[in-house]
Amino acid sequence: MNNTMIIDGYRAVIQYDIDIEMFRGEFTGLNGGADFYADSVAKLREEGKISLRTFLDECHQRGIKPTKTYSGKFQVRLPEDLHKHAVDAATAKGQSLNQFVATAIEHELSA
């Protein structure tokens, strides 16, 4: 993923906010919000470290686990025709719909 930054082992999604002409980073997978802003990539990394440290310190003080846990299950709603075509495509590949969707997600994440 080309719009992500790893800071101290935590992943953040980076976007450019044209309205304020700054980069915005937001950590993913945390049990709360931790975002940060800067006008350059170097400063963004510095601000990210500060934001993350503040978040982790607050979690430690409150006795909160800082990261989310994932079950590996989620529900997807699709238009009926897309659902049918996905089942047909999965069957043609000898896969379950779950395997087909997982493969498609893996493909998109590696692109």
- pLDDT tens figures, 26-37: 999 999 999 999
- pLDDT tens figures, 94-105: 999 999 999 999
Show the domain range for 29: 4-62
- pLDDT tens figures, 62-75: 999 999 999 999 99
Helix axes 80-92, 97-110, angle to 10 degrees: 90
Percent of the chain clearing pLDDT 90 (strictly above): 94
In the chain, the number of structural domains is 2
C-alpha distances in angstroms, 12 versus 26, 46, 55, 108? 5, 13, 13, 18
Domain-located, residue 75: no
Domain-located, residue 69: no
pLDDT of residue 109: 85
Tell me the whole-structure pTM to 2 decimals: 0.75
Q: Do 42 and 91 share a domain, yes or no?
A: no
